[in-house]
Amino acid sequence: MGQYKTQEEAEAAGVYVRKVQSFVKREGRLTKGQANAIENNWSEMGLEHQNGLLDFNQVFGRTAPVVLEIGFGMGKSLVEMAKNAPDHDYIGIEVHRPGVGACLMEAEEQGVTNLRVFEHDAVEVLADCVPDSSLARVQLFFPDPWHKKRHHKRRIVQPEFVQKLRGKLAIGGVFHMATDWENYAEHMLEVMSDAEGYQNQSVSNDYVPRPDHRPLTKFEQRGHRLGHGVWDLMFERVK
Ligand SMILES: C[S@@+](CC[C@H](N)C(=O)[O-])C[C@H]1O[C@@H](n2cnc3c(N)ncnc32)[C@H](O)[C@@H]1O
């Protein structure tokens, strides 16, 4: 940033500054199956950030509530959810290409048709491709916790981000988070409780039991046996 004291100052002067990102791009190799799945399914199921604002009716060929998932990993639980809710449409966003391939492979195997995916930064997809007030639900499951204090700024749940996200939820739409890292759960709760326009769906004003629509992951089952916790948070857009 050189002579500029803050990112805002530098940006105001028109200097390009790399923003803090919630991920580090790993160039993992694709398996043959993942590569084939992308090759075979991208034209049907892939969405491109560069194409700009989406028209959901056109994308899915129908009108249905749209659920968007940020950072779906290998996509196993996302595909399962899409399969279990054929009356909803799903959009998954993931930066990790092998994950995108794995998700498309699973979707093909399961015969899921109500799912589309982006291979891109979810922050940019939300800003540039998702219409305002359009989403029934946004899911953020086990986001990178960034354990070290000096890395906490990389956590995707931040006051500015959750307000941008609120603008994309319909009124009555829900932002659903889950994490197995207690310190991140507390951070989420603090950011969301202070955030304007959201109402906590928890009766005790903190966490909610895992809702049926979120499948239990393998690692979570193992975690339960070891006595590890998982925290779900659900906040509704009320204005
Ligand atoms: C810890 S993994 C969890 C994956 C999955 N949700 C699960 O529960 O197994 C977090 C994932 O979020 C992805 N991710 C992080 N920041 C992202 C962003 N800004 N846009 C899209 N994906 C992101 C990472 O690539 C990673 O795959």
CATH number of the domain that residue 214 is part of: 3.40.50.150
Q: Looking at the domain assignment, is residue 24 inside a domain?
A: no
Q: Looking at the domain assignment, is residue 101 inside a domain?
A: yes
pLDDT of residue 133: 98
Q: Looking at the domain assignment, is residue 10 inside a domain?
A: no
Q: Looking at the domain assignment, is residue 231 inside a domain?
A: yes
pLDDT of residue 1: 43
pLDDT of residue 217: 77
**What share of the chain in percent tops pLDDT 90?**
83
CB of residue 179 inside a 6 A radius of ligand 1: no
Q: How far is ligand 1, taken at its centre, from the CA of residue 73, in Å?
A: 5
- Helix count and strand count (H, E) for the chain: 9, 8
Name the band, by pLDDT with cuts 50, 70 and 90, for residue 222.
Answer: confident
CB of residue 142 inside a 6 A radius of ligand 1: yes
**pLDDT at residue 221 is higher than 80:** no
Q: Which domain holds residue 175?
A: 30-237
Q: Looking at the domain assignment, is residue 124 inside a domain?
A: yes
For residue range 149-201, list pLDDT tens digits in order.
999 999 999 999 999 999 999 999 999 999 999 999 999 999 999 999 999 99
Cα–Cα distance for residue pair 122/32, rounded to 1 Å = 26
66 neighbors 136 (Cβ within 8 angstroms): yes
Task: Identify which of 21-35, 86-100, 218-232 has the greatest average pLDDT.
Answer: 86-100
Minimum CA distance residue for ligand 1 atom 15: 23
Q: How far is ligand 1, taken at its centre, from the CA of residue 194, in Å?
A: 24
Among 121, 139, 140, 138, residue whose Cα is nearest residue 129: 121
To test the pocket of ligand 1, the residue of 24, 25, 69, 96 to mutate (highest count of ligand atoms within 8 Å of its CB) is 96
CB of residue 94 inside a 6 A radius of ligand 1: yes
To test the pocket of ligand 1, the residue of 72, 123, 179, 218 to mutate (highest count of ligand atoms within 8 Å of its CB) is 72
Cα–Cα distance for residue pair 157/152, rounded to 1 Å = 10
Q: Provide the number of structural domains found in the chain.
A: 1
75 neighbors 103 (Cβ within 8 angstroms): yes
Minimum CA distance residue for ligand 1 atom 1: 144
CB of residue 146 inside a 6 A radius of ligand 1: no
Atom of ligand 1 nearest to the CA of 93: 21
How confident is the prediction for the chain on average, in pLDDT? 93
Q: Looking at the domain assignment, is residue 14 inside a domain?
A: no
- Kindly report the pTM of this predicted structure: 0.92
Q: Looking at the domain assignment, is residue 153 inside a domain?
A: yes
135 neighbors 170 (Cβ within 8 angstroms): yes
Residue 177 β-bridge partners: 140, 233
Residues annotated as catalytic (active site), given as ranges: 144
Q: Looking at the domain assignment, is residue 223 inside a domain?
A: yes
pLDDT of residue 153: 95
CB of residue 141 inside a 6 A radius of ligand 1: yes
